[in-house]
Amino acid sequence: MFAKILIANRGEIACRVIRTARKMGVRCVAVYSDADAKAMHVAMADEAVHIGPSPVGESYLRGDKIVAAALATGAQAIHPGYGFLSENPDFVDQVTAAGLTFIGPSAASIRAMGLKDAAKRLMEKAGVPVVPGYHGEAQEIVLLASKAREIGYPVLIKARAGGGGKGMRRVEHPDDFSEALSGARREAKAAFGDDRVLVEKYVDKPRHIEVQVFGDNFGNAVHLYERDCSAQRRHQKVIEEAPAPGMTAALRKAMTEAAVKAAKAIGYSGAGTIEFIVDASQGLKADRFWFMEMNTRLQVEHPVTEMVTGTDLVEWQLRVAAGEKLPKIQSEITLSGHAIEARIYAEDAAKGFLPATGTLHHLKFPDAAPEGATMRIETGVRAGDAISPFYDPMIAKLVVHGKDRPAALDALGSALAQTEIAGSTVNTAFLAALATDVDFAAGDVDTGLIGRHQDALTVVPPPSDETVAAAALAASGAGAQAPSDDPWSSLAGYAHFHTVARRTRLRHGEADILARVSVRPDGRFEVALDSPYEAVNSHDLRAVPRLARWPGHITVFEGATSYNFAVPDPLAKVDEAAAASDTLRAPMPGLVKLVRVGKGDAVTKGQPLLILEAMKMEHTIAAPHDGVIAEIAVEGAQVSDGTVLVRFAEQDQG
């Protein structure tokens, strides 16, 4: 076994690898960028090496710096985690050329499966079913459009490199093909440096079911059953589970045999995932699944497989890379119970899952799962850490295991309701709504479910009067001198003989809230809210919802939903001009990728004005109202959060 390894990654996966390595007595070297100098994975590691500025192209994608760090610290092997360089065969060559071990498959295996078109041709030869489509080398738009017509609409345009839903577009009509192709190519080029695509038949009710495979250097390969990753938004996974709901014995047998056949076809060694698309329009049938792609690395969702099979896949990775045989043979790998993973992101689900940034001023996860269930939290952040625009905005993976799927869903809902995050917009309420969605709970899930139910899943109900009252009580100064978040602890001491009222003001969304907080002689309190809220009187202090204070704000938690209230500085002047509608500002830091209109153009409400690329995804910025463009951002400009992107000409009031 290795004495020391370097982890060429960051965040939760780096922390995850460190935990297993430490359990095995293996020392770990972390690498970090400027933004990650004080990150959790750096603090956990035995050693840490700085590798460059915050942008990934200058740090985590610099294979030369990572190999140099491994050599300088005496590491014997490099674990790539997922993302970044994990599926880069040139990096594998760099590692092995330096005399180090790459903890993963060979460069040849990665090259064989790294490009979707070539991989599908290889799978066809191996007898693995593939999705009908065009997987050729020619990329002329006329040819691709012609192939799309032959396949039959709707079709799916997919980047041939990479994954994560980037460079992917569904096209319903021939007239939309050209624009969709351009968008897919731009996104693929930005994410993977390769703008070539393939075109496939779009399956009407697709399930995304994948099989975990594992091989060693002795020709052995096994599967660890399937995972269902159909719950997706914008082609990116949100909730994953194992086993797949409704899985039949016949389909499982056919699918797992095909997955192992695929792994053996390329002499695969290490952890890998064979992803299949399944047509669920007539139920799960053994002749209605097709190979989609292979991820030649550990998956984000690997914990659900670990929980239902009782394995540690990172330990398997280390053992196989160190030259050992697979720890188990196929007959020794069994399924037990049901596991579900929910990805907690810093994002605004109500605004099309717009990525968010911010400082995690308050971060609290459940202490334990409900009775009869188990839980694990996979995270790479702590309270006080910042969610930066440079990296994926995932905060944590909440993973639960129960005796069956209903038990696991109950445990997931309970855990989400106890999770508290303040300082950034997060998706916990969306995840809780999805877990209780009628179709999802029944196991009737496909990749379009979230899109169909998005409005219902992302709507945020207004805060209850009790929630607003709790925020007003905290904003009044209650608890300011107390070490806890107990909102009445500083009020109760000074009103033993008469009622004292404090007026307070706060803001929720666009609503200004005025309140009067009174403390009675017996220590009870009363909060009276002015319109639009009704007066709220509470005599049970312990019934106040959970809350957290952070600079200029109070967050109150109602189940999995968090309500943020701004507490205005009474000495600050209100800038009424800031509320004017003649400007459109960037909702997040990013790159102005494409400008669709010019100065002097008349535009209508909802019309796309420009495309902003942030976190390797494209976001369309549309006109908030009719108007005439006076100024617009320059294509290629890097903008920060709040930068004016568009300025509209003043409207003629005459």
Active site residues: 297
User: 């394995």: which residue's tokens?
Assistant: 311
Q: Which amino acid is at 589?
A: P
Query: Hey, is 636 helix, strand or coil?
Result: coil
- Tell me the Cα Rg of the chain: 27
The neighbouring-strand residues paired with 36 are none
The helix or strand, by DSSP H or E, that contains position 538, with its residue range, turns out to be strand 536-538
Q: Is 299 exposed, middle or buried (0-12, 13-18, 19+ CB in 10 A)?
A: buried
Going through 234-263 in order, the beta strands assigned E by DSSP cover 236-242
Q: Phi/psi zone of residue 267: left (φ > 0), alpha (ψ -120 to 50 degrees), beta?
A: left
- State both tokens at 72: 């300088």
Question: What is the C-alpha separation between 318 and 324, in angstroms, rounded?
Answer: 9
Count the Cβ atoms, other than its own, within 10 Å of residue 591. 15
Q: Which residues contact 651 (CB under 8 A, 6 or more apart)?
A: 627
Q: Which residues contact 438 (CB under 8 A, 6 or more apart)?
A: none
Q: Is 205 exposed, middle or buried (0-12, 13-18, 19+ CB in 10 A)?
A: middle
CA atoms within 13 A on the CB side of 543: 11
Nearest-5° angle of CA 330, CA 334, CA 336?
Answer: 165
Question: What is the C-alpha separation between 466 and 473, in angstroms, rounded?
Answer: 10
Q: In what order do the strands lie in the sheet with 525-529?
A: 536-538, 525-529, 511-519, 500-508, 561-566, 553-558, 546-550
